[in-house]
């Protein structure tokens, strides 16, 4: 896998199956990306597959592959209880090393920081690194970036102590890669100027080495991919 140490490899599809998940685990063991990002339904699949459970609990960590789960994916509209209960269930079971949680975009657009924080902070308190997906496609109007909103997403994530801010689920408002790279570069400039300690993950529609290289050059620390790029 090309530049595997930067890649969060994802198996996040609506038609997901245990067999598809098992193949993704095999890909992760073979190629050793930074992490493997999956849906919470994996917990159900592992319960009835002891051999796969062993691979997930033992072999992936031994290979240095982080086990990552998305929360409230892909809409981000589940509210506090759905986000917290889903994350806590996974953390209590010892299944996860990181969370990728979808932010409440409505709260961001309306300036409702208390609601944004209410949904994200309890997940952070579980003690695992949290990446917050803010769906930057919603902050483009008539082809122009709404820099006020982009800055707001970063500031709110910094204020909460988020591990990383993430561009996209790849499902909602999945804008082109060039636009997302521009958003990554915008965030990177603020992080550098203000000395923030937060990482950037660029995700959605990464299909080539060039896509990965350009995301990293723009300032991303992590790139999300749903395909194995050699």
User: φ and ψ at 193, to 5 degrees?
Assistant: -65, -35
**Of 123, 214, 220, the residue nearest 177 (C-alpha):** 214
HSE at residue 181, side-chain half, CA atoms within 13 A, is 14
The alpha-helical segments, DSSP class H, found in the chain are 18-31, 42-47, 50-54, 60-62, 79-92, 105-110, 113-124, 147-160, 177-194, 209-218
Please state which of the four CATH numbers 3.40.50.10260, 3.40.50.10330, 3.20.20.70, 3.90.1150.10 is assigned to the domain occupying 4-225.
3.20.20.70
State what percent of residues in the chain have pLDDT above 70.
100
Q: pTM value? A: 0.96
**Residues 207, 227: Cα–Cα separation, whole Å:** 7
The answer to whether residue 207 scores a pLDDT higher than 80 is yes
Q: What is the mean pLDDT of residues 14-21?
A: 96
Reported as a single tens digit per residue, the pLDDT across 112-162 is: 999 999 999 999 999 999 999 999 999 998 889 999 999 999 999 999 999
Domain ranges of the chain: 4-225
CB 36 within 8 A of CB 67: yes
**Residues 205, 202: Cα–Cα separation, whole Å:** 10
Strand partners, 10: 37
CB neighbours of 218 closer than 8 A, spacing ≥ 6? 181, 182, 184, 185, 188, 202
**Residues 190, 210: Cα–Cα separation, whole Å:** 25
């Amino acid at each position: 896998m090309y530049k595997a140490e930067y890649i969060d490899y994802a198996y996040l599809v609506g038609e997901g199956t245990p067999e598809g998940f098992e193949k993704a685990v095999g890909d992760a063991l073979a190629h050793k990306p930074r992490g493997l990002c999956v849906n919470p339904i994996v917990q159900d699949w592992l319960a009835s597959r002891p051999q796969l459970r062993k691979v997930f609990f033992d072999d992936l960590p031994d290979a240095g592959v982080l086990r990552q789960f998305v929360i409230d994916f892909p809409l981000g509209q589940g509210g506090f209880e759905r986000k917290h209960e889903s994350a806590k269930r996974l953390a209590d079971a010892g299944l996860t090393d990181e969370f990728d949680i979808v932010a409440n975009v409505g709260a961001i657009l309306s300036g409702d920081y208390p609601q944004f924080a209410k949904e994200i902070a309890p997940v952070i308190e579980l003690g695992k690194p949290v990446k917050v997906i803010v769906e930057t496609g919603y902050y483009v109007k008539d082809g122009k970036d709404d820099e006020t909103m982009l800055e707001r997403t970063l500031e709110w994530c910094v204020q909460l102590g988020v591990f990383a801010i993430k561009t996209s689920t790849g499902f909602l408002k999945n804008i082109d890669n060039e636009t997302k790279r521009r958003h990554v570069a915008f965030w990177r400039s603020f992080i550098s100027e203000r000395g923030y300690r937060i990482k950037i993950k660029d995700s959605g529609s990464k299909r080539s080495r060039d896509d990965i290289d350009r995301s990293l050059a723009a300032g991303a620390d992590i790139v999300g991919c749903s395909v194995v790029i050699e």
